[in-house]
Chain A
Amino acid sequence: MITTGTAKSWMENFKELILENKDELTTLDQAIGDGDHGINMARGVQEMDKMLQEKTFETPGALLKAAAMVFISKIGGASGPLYGSALMKIAAEAGDKAELTDQDLLACLDAGKKAVQQRGRAETGEKTMYDVWDPVVSTFRGEETIDWEALKTTAQQAVKSTVDMHAKKGRAAYLGARSVGHTDPGAFSSRLFFEALADAAQKEN
């Protein structure tokens, strides 16, 4: 059950996790990208946090839409439009419901996943954040309640699966075969996104 409070914790947890892992994200992006993923995400979550301190929201959808707007206008790079579009669609799917059941939430996440796919023209196995979004959403879609520990594990394994992939999209694609052997930074931050949600939901229950 996701209330407006849970949505807020989700975003706050995401902020914490991003800031804790900022250097790690930067290091990952230096290996196969341009080294700014940690910086980009940190800028986004800090701006989002400021916004959350200032405004109050009636529904999870309203809160997530506001977060989407911050991500779109503050992150830039590849991750800004991707997280921004995903959250925008999640919020749209949430509509003005005051609470979301696990099933509602899975529909929201599915909309987010589709947004990442569409905006990034990403396919499975191309070594992008989609390789976390897709398995996480696909695994749990259709279930009545979410096993949050299992979801976290799925996300973690999905991140690991990117190591062996040969990048086809994003900057890592320029490396061709040299991208193999490295974790995709956006996949790593997406794991944090789902972990933040799981932690918020588990605390709620």
Chain B
Amino acid sequence: MTLMDTVLTLGFALVFIGVGLALIRLAVGPTLPDRVVALDQMTVSIVAFCGLAAIRSEDAAFLDVALVLALVGFLATAALARFAERVVVRREAEEEQEDSQ
């Protein structure tokens, strides 16, 4: 096993640990932003994963995947963030309504 292999293996392991931790955060929550951030973290991990895959197979094609994901990956996060924002606004509105009753 060359040094490169070892590093790669370590890299993959770290990515998976990162993804795993994000998954736990995602499952546990408890708040909505926690989950959104966890998903975003996962997306970033995949970009790293693609990079590692490109290095291992010595094929630039996987870098394209990383590139695309890096470009659009935040879109999901943005959409979820907006959702979180609206939900908070709505909940406050509901609470106000309850207060006024």
Say whether A and B bind each other: no
- On B, residues with C-beta under 8 Å from A are none
